[in-house]
Amino acid sequence: MENSINVLIFVESRYKVNRKRIRSAVGSTLSKEGVKSPVEVSVAVVGDRKMRELSLKYKGEDKTRNILTFSLSDGASSRPPTDKLRLGDIVISYPKVIEEAARDEMLVDDKIDQLIVHGMGHLLGLHHEE
C-alpha cells in the first residue's frame, strides 16, 4: 500500500518538519479509514502571512489559522483518468503549530501529526461536529 500513496510536501525553507512523519500520518489515516486505492495528497507548511492570505481568499476571514484543507472531491470519490484518487491539499501554519504545541504541552511533530489527521478527515469527508 505504501507505493500507492503519494504525499506531495511543500515546506517554506525556514521551517523544519519531519517529512517521514507527515507521510506516516497520512498513510495511517488512510489505512484506518480503509482507503486502499492509489491516493495523492499534498501538504504545505507555511507561515502566518501566507495562511492569512489563503484564509482571506478562500474563507473570507482576515485571520491566520492552524490548518486549511482544500478537497478536490468534496468528500465524494472522484477518479480522474489516471485512476489515482486525488484527495486535495492540507495547508498548515508552522507558527500556529508552535504556539498551539506550547499551549497544549505537546511536541511540535505531535501537533503536526494531529493536524494532518484532522485535515485528512476533512479531505475524506469526515467533518467534525460544529
Q: What is the CATH number of the domain that holds 17?
A: 3.40.390.30
Quickly state the pLDDT bin for 55 (edges 50, 70, 90): very high
What distance in Å separates the CA atoms of residue 61 and residue 89, rounded to the nearest whole number? 19
Only one residue has cell 484564509, namely: 55
Give a yes or no: residue 58 inside a domain. Answer: yes
Single pTM value for the model: 0.87
Give a yes or no: residue 129 inside a domain. Answer: no
**24-28, 35-39, 101-105: range with lowest mean pLDDT:** 35-39
Give a yes or no: residue 128 inside a domain. Answer: no
Q: CA separation (Å) from 35 to 77, 80, 111, 113?
A: 11, 16, 23, 18
Per-residue pLDDT averaged across 106-116, rounded? 96
Vertex 113, ends 83 and 104: CA angle to 5°? Answer: 155
Cell numbers describing residue 97: 503549530
Range of the domain at 24: 2-123
